Amino acid sequence: MGNALVCISTEGAREKSSKHEVNHPPLLASFKGRAGLLFSLSSSENKRKKKAGKFDGQLDEQALAAALLFNHHQGNNGNSLPFPRSKSVVYPSSGSKKDGFTRSSSSRQQSRSDSLLTRPGQLVNQDLETNRVVLVHGGGFGAWCWYKTISLLVKAGFKVDAVDLTGSGIHYSDTNAIRNLAEYVKPLSDIFYKLGEGEKVILVGHDFGGACISYVMELFPSKIAKAVFIAATMLSSGQSALDLISQQKGFSELVRQPQTFIYANGKHSPPTAIDIDKTLLRDSWFNQSSTKDVALASVSMRPIPFAPVVEKLFLSSNNYGSIPRFYIKTQGDCAMPASLQESMINSNPPTQVFELKGSDHAPFFSKPQALHRILVEISQVPSKHI
């Protein structure tokens, strides 16, 4: 997403040809009529797979298997998903805060609470405000990108939902038809409308998902216990994602390379979406991720809707500002450089900042265990200490 937005601000809208056909990836083309789909894994599913060998290797194999199943399903022109969906359980661990925001690093020594995270179904004995996590993907991604994070959190005893935003993942809508941020985040908003009285969640956003969770934070402040931004667009009030990127200078040539813009309404109208150049994925987005995860992304990523990227957000201190925010920096990120992340942190200081050393733009691929430990640590921070 950072790569795509930099291109807009520095290069302007470009076309590869005067004739542009909108083709969704083969993985996605056959899924129709399923709005607001959520990915969920159950604790029982994890127990069945507990003996299947090294966990990260197993997750890589699951990713490829999922891609193959989706493609096979497409060939059969089916209308339902090729695997069952279920709900799971939830819980968390501890943290601290000093004046302003504090910083932590993924290179710290393992603590006793870290060791608890490896025990399937282990619930930390602590009174928590919520035991539910909602994961929101970034631009071009879908709920599928969280498969390692979902598995690790569920294994640790959390209840997890990952949402496909409109026109993303296996959501049926055409990306080019999305007119504003409200339409784009509707599947996420629907989750909050369905929450019961007094129910809260820990809301996590990656990349452009940061703007999406900010929008929802303004609407549902009483239903969000904490908000976590992972290499994400953490906007100040009155900013759009495009505003944020266009203010930055000094990016490498790598992130300045142009993307393909889709003009579904004609080349004399504004772009409707930003297509992702799959040849740039390895170097700009996934420079520390495995070949298998890059392969999964290459068959699963979809265009990024243009209208939400240029929409300004207006955030109030009473709503958005009332929710504790945590930022996770990705130090080896070429798509959302550390300098840009630091600028957002300084302009709109969160409660606490964590750093993932050696992570690319997709820590859920490149550093899943370290990301998992930080998410659990954030979930354990007592609200009374924030």
Residues that are catalytic: 207, 333, 361
Alpha-carbon distance of 275 to 260, in angstroms, equals: 5
Written as one string, the DSSP assignment of 100-111 is S-EEEETTSPP-
Strands 38-39 and 159-163: antiparallel
> DSSP secondary-structure letter at 235?
P
Alpha-carbon distance of 103 to 357, in angstroms, equals: 13
- Strand stretches in the chain, DSSP E: 38-39, 102-105, 132-136, 159-163, 201-206, 224-230, 260-262, 273-275, 304-305, 325-330, 352-356
Query: Is the Cβ–Cβ distance between 83 and 65 less than 8 Å?
Result: no
At 149, which helix (H) or strand (E)?
A: helix 147-155
Largest CA distance in the chain: 61
Residue 137 tokens, joined: 């993907």
Query: Is the Cβ–Cβ distance between 30 and 155 less than 8 Å?
Result: no
Alpha-carbon distance of 372 to 160, in angstroms, equals: 13
* End-to-end Cα distance, the chain: 31
Strand partners, 104: 354
Task: Collapse the DSSP code of 117 into the 3-class scheme (helix H, G, I; strand E, B; otherwise coil) and give the result.
Answer: coil
Closest CA to 335 of 239, 209, 246, 231: 231
Alpha-carbon distance of 217 to 220, in angstroms, equals: 5
